[in-house]
Chain A
Amino acid sequence: MQLRPGIPRKTICFYSKSFLILTLFLASFVSLTSQPGYAIPAFARKYGLPCSACHIGWPILNNFGLQFKDNGYQLGNDKDSPIYQNNAYFPITFRVTPQWHLENTNKVLIDQTGTEQGVTTHGFDLSGLDIWTAGTLSKNISFQVLPSMGEGDTFHFESAWVRFDNLLHSPWLNVKVGKFELDNLLSEKRFLTLSGVGGAWFNYHFLPPGDSSGFGGIGDNQLGVELAGHNQNSYTRYSIALLSSVDGNPGLTTSLVGAPGGTLSPNPNTARTYDVMVNVNQGFAVKGLGVQRIGAFGYFGQNPTYYLTSDGTPVKGQGNRSFSRVGAFGWWFIKDLDVETFYMHGQDNVYLGNNVAVNDPNGLPPGAVGPTWNGGFVEAHYTVNPQFIFTGRYELVHMSRQANPDLAATPSLGNVDSFTIGYRWYPIMLSRAGLAIHNEYSQSKMGNLAPSGTDLTNRSLMVGFDFDY
């Protein structure tokens, strides 16, 4: 064997042995985890199906799970109504994630020294608690209620809706009313990453620096009504939603919101206009590979640029200006490997982008324009078996046009480049409970957002126990 010059044979042997040991360890680890997989606390109790029936790796839905969801949490076997369930059955799931995590930011302005320095914190922690209940109220009437809270927070309703399914005996007509996740086929609520940096898709929440839009992104649950439909196997799907432009915040109050003693900002509930979200997607089976899916979406909304006030309190949003998010996505399967691809173009009106009220004639700086940006991600999952899954993601959001010449002097201001890798091992996937050991590393770089105007880098390392029952 021809050795590379400069590397002693002994070293090669050591590397070979190490590689062999590592391979054997991984092989035995994977084989030990290769047990039959079951789970889903709420629905498994109802139907007795293994959780792997609906999830590629909990909580990502597979084709069957998507069909079940589209059909209003019904299998369509005439046993969906609560009347067929044991009286002791209650459709509720608790989910929480005790964890150890490390967060690092490379440039933080420290008050005591007046200089930037890196800050690393780590320790044991808790995620928020989700109390998730969903199911059917009757045949073809489904519901979901999800009170959620973070450590020390009060409860809020992450979602609460009722859905009228299969209207006119057609799967093409379903109407949902309440607060719900937008019909994103690539669902941020059901993805595999949980860490401080990797726990959200940047594209789903991005706003340019200085932008005043109150829209939290297509990843936020919204209040409204949704008309959705699908064919029998849910390969062809559509949805159109009319949404209050309040970023999912319920209530018709007109007060300021914010932390006591902190900065108060106008309650987005005063921004009473309406947004529209449209989503279409199509799946097609490729022999030997799986069901491939492609789709497109558009979110078109408005936000106020100033507020009418009474005694200094905002009472109504005024001067609405538009914003939009449009994009396309694909979900590609090569047997046990699936790859999600996503592209989005965003733009905000010039007044929103420059945080200027429409009624301020001299507010816009010379040369101001509406900011635009492009973003996307590629995320892959490799399912070793229903109880073990690897994930990796690269994501970016790059500004294509800054809101004014001052910002344009630093064209990469606000740009995001991020990656995440991790795995989830589900040692417990019983039909009544699930436990995932979750390990993840994530890193992001934000263009010119450090206090000194240089790039800001955040890193998260997380080891947690994600469980529900």
Chain B
Amino acid sequence: MSLVSKRYLVSLVLSMAVALPSWAQEAHAGDLTGHAASGKKLYRRYCVGCHGPLGDGNGDNAQWIDPRPRDFVGATFKCRSTPTGTLPTDQDLYNAITRGFTNSNMPHWDALPAQNRIDLVAYIKSFSPRWQSEKAGDTIKIPAEPAVTEQSIAHGGELFQKMECWKCHGQQGRGDGPSAPTLTDSKDQPIRPYNFADATDDSRFKCGSTNEDLYRIFMTGLDGTPMPSFADVIQPNDAWDLVHYLRTLQPHRHSRETELSKKSGAKPATPQKPPGNGY
């Protein structure tokens, strides 16, 4: 083999060795299989302005965006179905792209075909070496939701005090607890706790809108924010009671919890707008 051919071969092998991990990256959600190579084009079209060409959250528009765009290099994600500190599943990332994030500049991308969204997940995973060395965490188990009762709401209220949720979220869930002004995220950016009181029927949490989503937020925490995981300090039934209580802090959202709360004579929180932001 000539010297030129050898050099060519070595260059080719080296190039492939560098390129393959990212280009061969796949993502799976349901029947869908995403490919990073396809996702790269989509990322450049839809995402690069905020998240940046390197995926580090430093796109051209990032400086004007609050909260700042996600840094995919760090691979720290708020919305997961996996324990705190672990990588999310591909389905988690797919759901996040589909759903978007309320009170942020991240829209819901459900107008994109499902294949596009899973291709984007595959490409997003190529930004961090964590995806090469770690697997996604195991999805946490969520037991069936017990019936909403006055007792469960009352017990949830006790937990709200005992676990000091009010320190950030405020006694009436307005996100105005005594610690709220001091909170920052993992990038040292100011961050506000979720304001329950402003919620209406079409309001969402950062990671979903159902009681199950709220339960999942307790148990996984929102990595990169001050919202910790309570998986080690709270039992599943207690967590459900807390969910039921938190729903009573949303007096303008129709729910079984608010009905029971009103029936028992609890005084509803008074909404304050704006701002209605939070993690």
How long is the Cα–Cα vector from A320 to B107 in the complex, in angstroms? 48
Most buried by A among B60, B108, B113: B113
Binds A, one of B87-95, B98-106, B166-174, B217-225: B98-106
Among B46, B106, B201, point to the contact of A64 (Cβ < 8 A). B46
B111 and A50 form a contact (CB under 8 A): no
Contact partners of A68 in chain B: CB under 8 A: 107
Q: Say how far A144's CB is from chain B's closest CB, in angstroms.
A: 20
Binds A, one of B47-55, B122-130, B178-186, B227-235: B47-55
Binds B, one of A77-85, A271-279, A345-353: A77-85
Among B50, B62, B105, point to the contact of A79 (Cβ < 8 A). B105
B105 and A77 form a contact (CB under 8 A): yes
Q: Residue B29 at the A interface, CB < 8 A?
A: no
B100 and A77 form a contact (CB under 8 A): yes
Contact partners of A48 in chain B: CB under 8 A: 49-50, 59, 61-62, 64-65, 105
- Closest B residue, CB atoms, query A64: B111
Q: Residue B109 at the A interface, CB < 8 A?
A: yes
For chain B, which range describes its interface: under 10, 10 to 19, 20 to 34, or 35 or more residues? 35 or more
Q: Residue A227 at the B interface, CB < 8 A?
A: no
**A169-B202, A386-B45 known; A49-B115 Cβ under 8 A:** no
Among A66, A232, A385, A431, point to the contact of B110 (Cβ < 8 A). A232
Contact partners of A37 in chain B: CB under 8 A: 44-45, 48
- Closest B residue, CB atoms, query A234: B111
Contact partners of B101 in chain A: CB under 8 A: 77
B105 and A78 form a contact (CB under 8 A): no
Contact partners of A290 in chain B: CB under 8 A: 113
Q: Residue B143 at the A interface, CB < 8 A?
A: no
B49 and A38 form a contact (CB under 8 A): yes
**A64-B46, A64-B109, A233-B111 known; A431-B202 Cβ under 8 A:** no
Among A50, A232, A291, point to the contact of B113 (Cβ < 8 A). A291
Q: Residue B112 at the A interface, CB < 8 A?
A: yes
Contact with B along A369-388 (1 / 0, CB 8 A): 00000000000000001100
Interface of A is mostly: loop
Contact partners of A386 in chain B: CB under 8 A: 44-45
A75 and B107 form a contact (CB under 8 A): yes
How long is the Cα–Cα vector from A77 to B275 in the complex, in angstroms? 13
- Closest B residue, CB atoms, query A50: B49
Contact partners of A15 in chain B: CB under 8 A: none
How long is the Cα–Cα vector from A48 to B110 in the complex, in angstroms? 19
How long is the Cα–Cα vector from A285 to B108 in the complex, in angstroms? 17
Contact with B along A73-112 (1 / 0, CB 8 A): 0011111000110000000000000000000000000000
Contact with B along A385-411 (1 / 0, CB 8 A): 110000000000000000000000000
How long is the Cα–Cα vector from A79 to B45 in the complex, in angstroms? 22
Q: Residue A458 at the B interface, CB < 8 A?
A: no
A287 and B115 form a contact (CB under 8 A): yes
B107 and A50 form a contact (CB under 8 A): no
How long is the Cα–Cα vector from A291 to B106 in the complex, in angstroms? 22
Among A44, A77, A169, point to the contact of B102 (Cβ < 8 A). A77
- Closest B residue, CB atoms, query A84: B274
- Closest B residue, CB atoms, query A431: B61
Q: Residue B226 at the A interface, CB < 8 A?
A: no
Among A66, A78, A169, A385, point to the contact of B103 (Cβ < 8 A). A78
Among A76, A78, A234, A291, point to the contact of B276 (Cβ < 8 A). A78
Most buried by B among A50, A68, A75, A430: A50
Q: Residue A129 at the B interface, CB < 8 A?
A: no
A77 and B61 form a contact (CB under 8 A): no
**A76-B108, A77-B104 known; A431-B115 Cβ under 8 A:** no
B45 and A52 form a contact (CB under 8 A): yes
Q: Residue A67 at the B interface, CB < 8 A?
A: yes
Q: Residue B114 at the A interface, CB < 8 A?
A: yes
Q: Residue A262 at the B interface, CB < 8 A?
A: no
How long is the Cα–Cα vector from A232 to B110 in the complex, in angstroms? 8
B49 and A64 form a contact (CB under 8 A): no
A63 and B106 form a contact (CB under 8 A): no
Contact with A along B155-173 (1 / 0, CB 8 A): 0000000000000000000
A285 and B115 form a contact (CB under 8 A): yes
How long is the Cα–Cα vector from A36 to B51 in the complex, in angstroms? 12
Q: Residue A53 at the B interface, CB < 8 A?
A: yes
Contact partners of B109 in chain A: CB under 8 A: 64
Q: Say how far B170's CB is from chain A's closest CB, in angstroms.
A: 19
Most buried by B among A37, A75, A77, A83: A77
**A36-B53, A37-B45, A431-B49 known; A78-B102 Cβ under 8 A:** yes
How long is the Cα–Cα vector from A285 to B44 in the complex, in angstroms? 21
Q: Residue A361 at the B interface, CB < 8 A?
A: no
Contact with B along A29-49 (1 / 0, CB 8 A): 000000011100000100111
B102 and A53 form a contact (CB under 8 A): no
Q: Which 10 A-B pairs have the closest CB atoms?
A: A48-B61, A50-B49, A285-B113, A75-B107, A67-B111, A63-B111, A36-B48, A52-B45, A38-B49, A233-B110
Residues of B near any A CB (own CB < 8 A): 41, 44-46, 48-50, 53, 59-62, 64-65, 100-115, 201-203, 274-276
12 contacts between A and B (CB under 8 A): A37-B48, A38-B49, A48-B64, A49-B46, A64-B107, A75-B105, A77-B108, A78-B103, A83-B274, A235-B111, A431-B60, A431-B61
Known contacts A36-B49, A48-B64, A78-B203; can you find 8 more A-B pairs with CB under 8 A? A64-B107, A75-B107, A169-B201, A169-B202, A232-B110, A235-B111, A285-B113, A385-B44
